[in-house]
């Protein structure tokens, strides 16, 4: 149990911070909705122009791909740090994991997800 103490303390701290933020936003957040409070806010200045419309789908596709490959690093870094202790089984598992991610990248490129019109 002692070996998990650091993880449990970090997870508990993260949950306490998240819960604290939610509680503080409920306590100190706006209670009444008025026209002024609902107005868009741009650096303390009135809006310079009207919104241009909705964002293109490509923006969301790139964002999802970024998150996917960002999460890859979450798994890849600890594996690389403890590579020598894990043995060949972990190497083959990570090779499979990276192969699936690479196939996803090839699919996204072939579908044109990274091209802007």
> How do residues 9-48 score in pLDDT, each as one tens digit?
999 999 999 999 999 999 998 788 888 777 766 666 666 7
For 56, the domain range is 2-111
Q: pTM of the entire structure?
A: 0.49
Domain-embedded: residue 36: yes
Residue 87 belongs to domain with CATH number: 1.20.58
Domain-embedded: residue 116: no
- Mean predicted confidence (pLDDT) in 77-87: 90
The SS3 assignment for 117 reads: coil
d(CA 67, CA 101): 12
Domain count for the chain: 1
Q: What is the pLDDT of residue 113?
A: 81
Domain-embedded: residue 22: yes
Domain-embedded: residue 117: no
> CA separation (Å) from 91 to 70, 96, 102, 104, 110?
20, 9, 16, 20, 28
Domain-embedded: residue 75: yes
Domain-embedded: residue 53: yes
């Amino acid at each position: 149990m002692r070996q998990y103490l650091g993880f449990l303390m970090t997870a508990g701290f993260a949950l306490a911070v998240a819960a604290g933020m939610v509680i503080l936003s409920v306590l100190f957040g706006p209670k009444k909705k008025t026209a002024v409070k609902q107005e868009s806010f741009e650096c303390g200045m009135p809006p310079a122009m009207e919104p241009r419309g909705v964002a293109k789908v490509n923006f969301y596709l790139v964002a999802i791909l970024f998150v996917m490959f960002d999460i890859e690093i979450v798994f890849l870094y600890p594996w690389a740090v403890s590579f020598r202790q894990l043995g060949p089984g972990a190497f083959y598992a990570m090779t499979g994991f990276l192969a699936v991610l690479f196939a996803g990248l090839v699919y996204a490129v072939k579908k044109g997800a990274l091209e802007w019109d």
